Amino acid sequence: MTTSEPTVTKRVVVGVDGSEESKLALTWAAKIAQATVGYVEAVIAWQYPATFGWAVPPSEWDPAQDADKALVDAVDEVFGANRPANLQLTVSEGYPANVLLTAAHGAAMLVVGSRGHGGFAGMLLGSVSANVAEHAQCPVLVVHPDPAAPSA
């Protein structure tokens, strides 16, 4: 009698915000997904700035559309025409750490850059990467920039 194991596709979630660190994280996520016969889910989060308070945002401003464009631009810059198979792009409203933790539920791994657009120069971890590293229920890879890499 032969039994066959069910095929399980591993999902690697990666946080993308358009920063150089997130683009590097996207590259690592693709390598990990390829090595584990999985697929990449690239996630970007957006939220209305707290400074808006009760103010109504301008009607012509669409933060979800801006986030989608930033995600597509980052993916295009990293992969060009050679996007990984089954790459999924996800745009979600909410605080980035919460969005990533929710997206990573059931994932094989969560990959994030060490720092995004916010934070202070010289910090080893940003608030989002520190938060997901502490609270994720899957392995987390925090990608730091290569100090030997030439800067653009």
pLDDT along the chain (152 residues), means of 10: 58 95 94 93 89 68 92 96 93 96 97 70 68 95 72 38
Cα 65 from Cα 51, distance rounded (Å): 20
Question: What's the pLDDT score for residue 8?
Answer: 55
Helix axes 63-79, 20-35, angle to 10 degrees: 60
DSSP H or E stretch at residue 54: none
Question: Quick one: pLDDT at residue 121?
Answer: 47
132 touches 112 (CB < 8 A)? yes
pTM for this one?
0.83
DSSP string, 12-28: EEEE--SSHHHHHHHHH
pLDDT at residue number 80: 94
